[in-house]
Amino acid sequence: MKLRVLGCSGGIGGNLRTTSFLLDHDVLIDAGTGMNELSLTELSVIDHIFITHSHLDHIACMPLLIDSVGFMRDHPLTIYVTEETLEILRAHVFNWKVWPDFTQIPNARNPYMRFQTIAIGETVDLGGRRITPIPAVHTVPAVGFHLDSGSASLIFSGDTTANDALWDTANRIENLRYLIIETAFSDNEKKVAILSKHLFPSMLAEELLKFRGDAEVFITHLKPGEVELTMRQIEKAVHGRAPKMLLNNQEFEF
């Protein structure tokens, strides 16, 4: 399995793009503005999108993707979401007011997209690529994902605050090679981070003490304007590990 980082910022501006990862050539993990990295041809062969939660920075380009390539495909694009996120998307995005309901276009028998519900701990197997939703704690119902090739694994935390269930899951994975975890705000913005249920450097340090594995740790979802400050604070706060900043177009093979 190969995971390519299309976008990993907590905002936009210049070359910053929000969360979206391409797994091999046909699977997206989240659908933020990072998808703009892909050509129309690359977009047209995406068959599966796994969504962590309904916030705009993680779904912004999904409606546009379906509108752009639906006519080019001979089968529906499958969107994997929890029941709670599905309710939000149906009510607030694919509602014919914000965007058309492409589960009904061109018709209900042969739509451009379809939803498949997922639940924490239930694995989706795509030809030996095992993708399992894992717990996240956020302001809306949310999950992270465990990606397992069989020989090695990667965890993406999704958007989360303090989350004991994440570490219970991670500590049971024997082949975990990479951990991608958010830290959206600096310690200077601690109050905002707590209110919006995101991590900040001193909380990240406390959380990583719960992790018994030796996976490489990468930091995602850094807010524009505070990237360098937040990474300096992480370096100072986290002991015994050396988290690295996640970068656009970075690739992980596992």
Distance CA 248, CA 7 (A): 6
Together in a domain, 17 and 91: yes
189 sits in the region (left: phi over 0; alpha: psi -120 to 50; else beta) called: alpha
Q: Is 123 part of any domain?
A: no
Kindly give the parts of the chain with pLDDT less than 50: none
| Displacement of CA 207 from its chain's centroid (Å) | 19
Mean pLDDT score across all residues of the chain = 98
Q: Is 20 part of any domain?
A: yes
Together in a domain, 46 and 146: no
Together in a domain, 202 and 106: no
CATH number assigned to the domain comprising residue 97: 3.60.15.10
Together in a domain, 203 and 227: yes
Cα torsion 182, 61, 116, 162 to 10°: value is 10
Whole-model pTM above 0.85? Answer: yes
Q: Is 205 part of any domain?
A: yes
3-state DSSP helix/strand/coil % of the chain, to nearest 5? 30, 25, 45
pLDDT tens, residue by residue, 53-79 = 999 999 999 999 999 999 999 999 999
Q: Is 57 part of any domain?
A: yes
How many domains does the chain fold into?
A: 2
Together in a domain, 140 and 240: yes
Domain boundary among 117, 138, 165: 117
Residue 202: predicted pLDDT: 98
Together in a domain, 100 and 158: no
Domain range enclosing 35:
1-81+83-117
Together in a domain, 112 and 191: no
Block residue for tokens 């993680």: 58
pLDDT tens, residue by residue, 83-113 = 999 999 999 999 999 999 999 999 999 999 9
Together in a domain, 107 and 168: no
Together in a domain, 100 and 135: no
Together in a domain, 54 and 166: no
Distance CA 84, CA 53 (A): 9
